Amino acid sequence: MILEYSARLLGVLGMSIAELRHRRGRATLVVIAIALAVLAVTLLSSLGLGVLATGEAGFEQADQDLWLTGGPVAITETGGLENPVIDAHRLSDEIAGRDDVESAAPIAFHGVYIGTNSEDLELVPAVGARGAQVDTGEGFTNGTAHYAEGAYDGPMTAEVIVDRTTAERLDLTPGDTVFVGISREGAQDQAFTVVAIADEYQQFLGTSTVVLPLGELQRLAGTTGSDRAAFVVISVADGADVGTVQADLQRAYPDYEVRTNEQQLESMLREQTLLLVSGAMLVGLAVVTGLLLTVNILTLVAYQQRAELTALRALGLSRPVLAGLVGGQGLVFGAVGGTLGLVLTPVLASVLNDAAAWLVGFDGLLRTPPVVYAVGFAIALGVGTLAALIAGWRVSRVVRLEYLE
């Protein structure tokens, strides 16, 4: 019995493949549609996994345990950025003085104009920090000199750290001079010396970034009075429990939110909800489009085969076999389209990775683990199988004796 059914199944698949050979144009169209649906799933899934992996790697590289924040960085009426944490230096020093905390440092964000020519400047994100993990150069000589313990009357070191992308774009090396300012006019009179090249914050933000001593960036931005920062990064002391320290700090500073690395990453992703929903809708649209196109093509094929199918019915073939004849074509479409999509996935992922590295400096942004290929092929077979079921049901409606006349 099993051998009999297996023989019938192989026969149906053989007839389905033979029929597709005679209609290569339509078959190619359906295969391409399913392949595109698979690519939408695999590439967007790879991007999602890559973003998560890159974000986790960025937090791990930052080597911090907790993040104290007052909410997202807001855009002011003048187009600048308003960091939510107030009195950041005093706050971070107070936190760093706890026995269960190893270090605490404020970080601020602003947009600055930078260029080697005071008449030719470009806008890039700037990070205000006490320093950075440098790749080339020596780093800041004294990142808190201008802050002067809250007086903001110390000397300006006029030092800046640039990321590798900015360094290559502006042809910069440590020791070069650049003009930096919050506005184009302000930058024309403010010369800074490049003291290092570092990708730490560029990898965290995902874009070209320059780093200035926090107090000096606040001076340029005019926020020395409120001492604003985006957040305070906290490293817990050895032996201390991160969850316990988080709860203690949250009670001590109820006006702010204290988050772990995972919670901070989740918060950043929630701010991109619209983008994530759009990506999910694109995947769904691709799958539905592939399904509908496959169903319509198979139904059209069945309609154009109505005379042949009716003749086969008259010769004694059962309706399930006829339905299987058309349905088998859907399975073939799914397998071929899925294979094509999976073959193209690593090629297109490599191209997109190169583009992402060039545009935003991220290497390997798209990740394609085996599960991505498994999901993509499952989608392809699912589309083909569902199309086969629908088309197989429809085929019974086109098999009528009048077609033999």
- Per residue in 289-301, pLDDT (tens digit) is 666 666 666 666 6
| Bridge-based pairing state of the strands 74-75 and 81-82 | antiparallel
Q: Residue 321 gets which letter from DSSP?
A: H
Give a yes or no: residue 65 inside a domain.
no
CA dist 220 and 128 (Å) reads 11
More confident residue, 89 or 49: 89
Q: What is the pTM of this model?
A: 0.60
- Rounded to an integer, the average pLDDT of 134-150 is 88
Give a yes or no: residue 363 inside a domain.
yes
pLDDT at residue 216, rounded to an integer: 94
pLDDT at residue 226, rounded to an integer: 92
- Rounded to an integer, the average pLDDT of 245-263 is 88
Q: Name the residue range of residue 290's domain.
A: 2-57+273-404
Give a yes or no: residue 279 inside a domain.
yes
* Segment of 253-257, 306-310, 355-359 carrying the highest mean pLDDT: 253-257
Q: How many residues does the chain have?
A: 405
User: Which domain-ending residue is among 255, 290, 305?
Assistant: 255
- 348 with 377, same domain: the answer is yes
- Average pLDDT over the chain, rounded to an integer: 76
Q: How confident is the model at residue 252 (pLDDT cuts 50, 70, 90)?
A: very high
pLDDT at residue 5, rounded to an integer: 43
State yes or no: pLDDT of 188 exceeds 80: yes
State yes or no: pLDDT of 131 exceeds 70: yes
Q: How confident is the model at residue 254 (pLDDT cuts 50, 70, 90)?
A: very high
Q: Are 261 and 60 in contact (CB under 8 A)?
A: yes
- 88 with 207, same domain: the answer is yes
Tokens of 152: 């903001």
Beta-carbon contacts of 202 under 8 Å, excluding residues fewer than 6 positions away, are 163, 164, 165, 208, 209, 361
pLDDT at residue 176, rounded to an integer: 94
- 228 with 122, same domain: the answer is yes
Domain count of the chain? 2
- 128 with 251, same domain: the answer is yes
- 288 with 372, same domain: the answer is yes
CA dist 64 and 375 (Å) reads 35
pLDDT at residue 403, rounded to an integer: 47
Give a yes or no: residue 64 inside a domain.
no
- 107 with 211, same domain: the answer is yes
Beta-carbon contacts of 341 under 8 Å, excluding residues fewer than 6 positions away, are 34, 35, 36, 37, 38, 39, 42, 376, 380
Q: How confident is the model at residue 220 (pLDDT cuts 50, 70, 90)?
A: very high
- 45 with 120, same domain: the answer is no
- 314 with 340, same domain: the answer is yes
Tokens of 274: 């619209």
State yes or no: pLDDT of 79 exceeds 50: no
More confident residue, 203 or 262: 262
- 338 with 360, same domain: the answer is yes
106-134: string of b/e by CB count within 10 Å (b at 16+)? bbbbbebbbbeebeebeebbbbbbbbbeb
State yes or no: pLDDT of 89 exceeds 90: yes
Q: Are 250 and 119 in contact (CB under 8 A)?
A: no
Look at residues 8, 12, 5 and name the one whose alpha carbon lies nearest to residue 328: 12
- 51 with 78, same domain: the answer is no
pLDDT at residue 396, rounded to an integer: 60
Q: How confident is the model at residue 392 (pLDDT cuts 50, 70, 90)?
A: low
Look at residues 305, 295, 242, 314 and name the one whose alpha carbon lies nearest to residue 18: 305
- Rounded to an integer, the average pLDDT of 330-353 is 81
Give a yes or no: residue 260 inside a domain.
no
Longest dimension (CA), the chain: 100
HSE-up (13 A, CA, CB side) for residue 211 = 25
User: Which domain-ending residue is among 189, 223, 255?
Assistant: 255
pLDDT at residue 31, rounded to an integer: 77
CA dist 227 and 167 (Å) reads 29
- 116 with 185, same domain: the answer is yes
Q: Is 132 left (phi over 0), alpha (psi -120 to 50) or beta?
A: beta
Give a yes or no: residue 42 inside a domain.
yes
Look at residues 80, 82, 60 and name the one whose alpha carbon lies nearest to residue 71: 82
pLDDT at residue 54, rounded to an integer: 58
- 357 with 279, same domain: the answer is yes
Looking at the chain, the whole-number percentage of residues with pLDDT higher than 90 is 23
Give a yes or no: residue 264 inside a domain.
no
CA dist 35 and 290 (Å) reads 8
User: Which domain-ending residue is among 212, 228, 255?
Assistant: 255
More confident residue, 130 or 306: 130
Give a yes or no: residue 223 inside a domain.
yes
Q: Are 263 and 102 in contact (CB under 8 A)?
A: no
Beta-carbon contacts of 96 under 8 Å, excluding residues fewer than 6 positions away, are 102, 103, 104, 105
Q: How confident is the model at residue 200 (pLDDT cuts 50, 70, 90)?
A: confident
Q: How confident is the model at residue 94 (pLDDT cuts 50, 70, 90)?
A: very high
| Tens of pLDDT, residues 2-32 | 444 445 545 555 555 555 555 566 667 777 8
